[in-house]
Amino acid sequence: MTTADELIALVRTYNPNTNQALLREAFAFGAEMHEGQFRHSGEPYFTHPVAVAGILAEQQMDDATIITALLHDTIEDTKASFAEVEKRFGREIAELIDGVTKLTNLQLTSTQTKQAENFRKLFMATSRDLRVTLVKLADRLHNMRTIRSMRPEKQVQKARETMDIFAPLAGRMGMQWMRDELEDLSFKVLNPEGRNSIIRRFITLQRETGDVLHKIMADMRVELEKADIQAEVSGRAKKPYSIWRKMQEKDQGFSRLSDIYGFRVIVATEADCYRVLGAIHQRWRAVPGRFKDYISQPKSNGYRSIHTTVSGRDGKQVEVQIRTREMHEVAETGVAAHWSYKNGERVENRFAVDPVHWISALTERLDDGQDHDEFLEAVKLEMYQDQVFCFTPKGDVIKLPRGATPIDFAYAIHTRIGSACVGAKVDGLRVPLWTRLKNGQSVEVITAEGQTPQATWIDIAVTGRAKTAIRRSLREEDRERFVRLGRELARVAFEQVGKRSTEKALRTAAKALAIDGVEEMLARLGSAEITGRTVVGAIYPELEMQRGDEIDAARAVIGLSPDQEHQRGACCQPVPGERILGIAFRGHGVVVHAIDCEALADYEDQPDRWIDLHWQEGNHKPVNTVTFDATIANDAGVLGRICTLIGEQNANISDLKFIDRKPDYFRLLIDVDLRDAEHLHRVITALEAESNVSSIVRYRDPGLVSVGAGAPRREG
């Protein structure tokens, strides 16, 4: 384990004015608090906080961050309290430790919804002080370096969590070296065979081609000396996971993969960066579409560099990054460069991003009002995606993630422009809205008054901002549609009892049902949360009393013993007038099936459970739900007309679910409450006669059964 003196010596290499006494006191306090605690490997637990502090010292972090690393588990795992830490080390350090503790307790591998909520909390903690996240990332890095001491299932859980959350977060913060290592350590756990195969192929390649790295670096140095450019040239083979990902993305084998080597040229000035670019392109042929200038268009985390890919020695494609020393410091440490030191003094790297500004830029497009799944989707998009830079017709630059479309571009300008988008021109040519934008393209958005977002845009859009705005608009549109549908259903329900659905009647019904306003009541009616009979019954309960001649649903079936209860099978939904039989379930009564129900085949070898049943003759109540599978035209007023037709047959819609939406048609499941088979026939006939209904069939699912009083469940 690193000693206190060794850690202080490391900090003094970049900060000679460090508070050695405070660091030494924190080291001693942490060792005392963790005395008697051990890691899974059997080592003293305090070796872990010391290692985390060492990782952050290598990133040249300030004293407060180093001390936080040494003590980051004390409040959670030892007898130390927030008050005691605050008293000994100050408020700033106590709050940083408390922030790390809260991040540790988020349990990020829980269910999707909880994970999304935890992501929100993570970013809230990050927005208060970015150093909390830096400590947490260093903590995760050391845990991944020592993961082999954990149980196998725990290794997989931690590796997956690291790959999904911490690695992309490190990359988004500009700490690419940490992202690479976290991904590779996770890859080693999640797919050891895949990783080993990459390494074996590397060894074979080196045996066949020799030391390509040093040969190409030597070639570059020669070209730069010819151009009289002072530069530092380095090269490396890319990490196994980076190569594996490229193989998956490009669907290529290792032998066909080209740019598995990366080279870096560090120079003194920005002007030298472009001189180096010219020298390299004069010597080697540039690969089209593989040039990115992040100096003129920096990434939001402060990253600046020129990237180009050229065909090098023996036709091998190699990526070259060109940057200044200041740019390199930011590229290596990312947002952490904000805390960099020189000669014991905090110095401002002009390329380092202010942490407050960075986290604000990261979260500004994450809408507090969106639901958990949408938040998780948006934040992952913000973290994972590389950027492309496109231009408005006026020359303004719009930053977008790789793979973005004109819809994303439109919403990036303004939500109003995105919602009104009907088309786009890229470099003066009309293109489909699903076109993937490329660096440097000029995009013109074509809008039209009255246009609203389409449901298909969700699949086209890439950015969290666009997806959130589209979903919000669709929700509002759905509410308007539900209100219109509810108003039509209310009209039909009132007419069935010889009444009119006036505004006053609707207000009275809403008040009686304790619903906040007529519009809310109609929206619930249209979305099948309540029924038309419920609305009518709220004002005219006496009309329900007049139905005493109807057969009670509990007595609708004949052939049961007095102690047996029944329910209709959800698989076939039999109605009075159809031939039926029952299947007995011990402790759950009898499930009634239509005689031709496919689910009955499951009970062929159990004849003792079969019961001969038939329906009671008479006037049954309209409580027998039947599901229709309908395909209707996607046109104004069609859905309302369908509901009217059903209402005209004195039937009530109890649920309605869209299962497919296309530009020219909708496919939906409609639950209708019916009296009997004759009633069913009348409804189907009325719908089949409607020209806007291309298909109407009775929906049956033999995989659904109803057992007991609960909801239907699927067997097998």
Within this chain, do residues 117 and 241 fall inside the same structural domain, yes or no? no
Within this chain, do residues 243 and 152 fall inside the same structural domain, yes or no? no
Residue 660 lies in a domain: yes
Residue 213 lies in a domain: yes
Within this chain, do residues 507 and 652 fall inside the same structural domain, yes or no? no
Angstrom distance (rounded) from CA 237 to CA 180: 12
Q: Which residues of 680-698 are buried (b: 16+ CB within 10 A; e: fewer)?
A: bebbbebbeebeebeebee
Is 76 noted as a catalytic residue in this protein?
Answer: yes
pLDDT for 344 = 54
Contacts of 699 (CB under 8 A, 6+ apart): 627, 628, 629, 669
Vertex 166: Cα angle to 165 and 170 (nearest 5): 125
Within this chain, do residues 98 and 32 fall inside the same structural domain, yes or no? yes
Catalytic site residue from 76, 270, 520, 655: 76
Could you tell me the two tokens for 582?
């029952």
pLDDT for 345 = 60
Catalytic site residue from 25, 43, 63, 77: 77
Give, for 204, the enclosing helix (H) or strand (E).
helix 192-209
Give pLDDT tens digits for 214-248: 888 898 999 999 999 999 999 887 788 887 877 76
The amino acid at residue 593 is: H
CATH number, position 30? 1.10.3210.10
Which domain-ending residue is among 511, 545, 579? 545
Pick from 573, 567, 547, 577: which is nearest to 650 by CA?
547
CATH number, position 330? 3.30.460.10
- Full residue range of the structural domain in which residue 492 is found: 472-545
pLDDT for 277 = 94
Contacts of 445 (CB under 8 A, 6+ apart): 406, 409, 410, 413, 417, 421, 424
How many domains does the chain fold into?
A: 4
Give, for 583, the enclosing helix (H) or strand (E).
strand 580-585
Angstrom distance (rounded) from CA 58 to CA 143: 17
Q: Which residues of 339-367 are buried (b: 16+ CB within 10 A; e: fewer)?
A: bbbeeeeeeebebbbebeebbeebbebbb
Residue 15 lies in a domain: yes
Vertex 532: Cα angle to 528 and 537 (nearest 5): 130
Strands 261-267 and 665-674: unpaired
Within this chain, do residues 679 and 716 fall inside the same structural domain, yes or no? yes
Residue 608 lies in a domain: yes
- Tokens 């259903």 locate to 489
Within this chain, do residues 12 and 146 fall inside the same structural domain, yes or no? yes
Residue 460 lies in a domain: no
Angstrom distance (rounded) from CA 593 to CA 614: 11
Within this chain, do residues 106 and 254 fall inside the same structural domain, yes or no? no
59 burial via Cβ count (<10 Å: 0-12, 13-18, 19+): buried
Residue 407 lies in a domain: no
Which domain-ending residue is among 346, 363, 392? 346
Using 70 as the pLDDT threshold, list the residues of the chain that sit under it: 105-128, 208-210, 248-259, 300-301, 312-315, 335-387, 527-528, 542-549, 588, 617, 705-716
Contacts of 96 (CB under 8 A, 6+ apart): 64, 65, 68, 129, 131, 132, 135
Within this chain, do residues 148 and 247 fall inside the same structural domain, yes or no? no
Within this chain, do residues 569 and 541 fall inside the same structural domain, yes or no? no
Pick from 534, 614, 603: which is nearest to 575 by CA?
614
Helix (H), strand (E), coil (C) string for 85-152: HHHHHCHHHHHHHHHHHHHHCCCCCCCHHHHHHHHHHHHHHHHHCHHHHHHHHHHHHHHHHCHHHCCH
Vertex 229: Cα angle to 223 and 232 (nearest 5): 85
Within this chain, do residues 618 and 520 fall inside the same structural domain, yes or no? no
Which domain-ending residue is among 318, 346, 374? 346
Give pLDDT tens digits for 161-210: 888 778 877 877 778 889 889 999 999 999 888 888 888 887 777 776 66
User: Where in 312-371 does DSSP place strands (E)?
Assistant: 317-324, 341-342, 345-346
Q: Which residues of 108-131 are buried (b: 16+ CB within 10 A; e: fewer)?
A: beeeeeebbbbbbebbebbbebbb
Residue 452 lies in a domain: no
Residue 113 lies in a domain: yes
Which is it for the CA torsion 681, 682, 687, 689, positive or negative? positive
Is 612 noted as a catalytic residue in this protein?
Answer: no
Within this chain, do residues 219 and 290 fall inside the same structural domain, yes or no? yes
Within this chain, do residues 574 and 695 fall inside the same structural domain, yes or no? yes
Angstrom distance (rounded) from CA 376 to CA 379: 5
